[in-house]
Structure 1
């Protein structure tokens, strides 16, 4: 039986000191596709029946999930169609096509692209609101717990909620800090409202974190665990991205620096937090 570990990279952890504080970085930007999304995509495709995979799958994405589904389909011998909004960065759409997936640009937002993708009639691969996808993303935190068990809080950038929900499930009771850009914070609004609500998406990190509504499954998981919701400005997350490069030569996209921005802001509890650097696929990489 094929397993997830055959297709994804076990990314390293890195112990650092920042402003006199001990931290652990989870270097998930070194994943095969440049983001954690491959874990959930492969896990979902492995769970499909063979006819579904051969017929083809479809998804919608701002970029990273689309790359992951295209890579997963390539690895597992399936065909993928990926819908992206017209605003999706070329750095990501080129990679989707290079992996053999059919790329369709549709709509101005992820939500519009997703609606069109669902109408295609193929098996739809959720970006985050799926238990099998969340299970795949949870392996990031399982590795953290195994490789750095002394960590007492885990800091996670949040879009639709798949990664942070997986973190909550696999954390072993460790405190979870869910971090979002101020103008791209669907999960923050969902936690406040007690249910997913429509949210404005306007951030330099929107191509990776631009969900207009948080996933209902992820929200339900977070409501059952110890989670703090933190917001950072675009200026703060870009400063965090630049600092990761300048001090550690770690290249991440804006979304990949969101969790670190919360640490620099002083909004993360714990004696030894672990910061997940979740992605490195953008023209906004440190330069």
Structure 2
């Protein structure tokens, strides 16, 4: 996380900026050439959003507006991040970080943990079920694995919504609980789960984000270092951002506005885990000066399929 020195990307056969714009439709070209200030790209299925995003990054780097080593592209799956890196490489653009939220946060946490806490980061656990089973046993409660999976999802919702065990019951009032559980029982299990992790010196994926949020909120020197490292942010699938991810993104930005988000509210698929499309829909409320570009040409489906999809929506 040391300060990077700008180096123009050099490849054996670099594409000229005009070549990057070739083959783009009018809306894609507008998105690609809008390089300053907040930008919101509303992109329906099949409209070439990944093409627009990667070409925008490549165009920004090759015109000298973006420093590749200070540019972070964030998406939701490792596969999507790998695809973005491949496309950027094919465009002759190197040095840009393309990661998931959790991967980017974990990398920062591993770097800064020795400075803030000391030692190494606790072991990361991928699955909650076994820890929840132990927490249930401590509470002298038994439940089957199907219910444990539902409880794991509920605790994930609580954490990405930034509700602690103490505040969970009030926040979850009215939510449908896993079979056989009421809101107070889930709150006790949530606290028990956190206790098991603490006893074993473990963290889960939500903790990675929560810990980085805590560090950035309480350590101004580290926050300044992170903000110096990354100056430009691009967030794909913005309709599936959770309140916790949104908070982390705000702390990464630190009040700056060099942010491009891409999404489609109709494609929200992670609302059951706490994600919400309201950050996409309210983007102009947070950034009144934002440019909004709509990609409306479907390159994936026949006109009949597009017509049917629009009628269903």
TM-score range, shorter chain: 0.3 to 0.5
From the two aligned structures, give the one with the greater helix fraction.
2
TM-score (norm: length of structure 2): 0.32
Greater radius of gyration (CA): 2
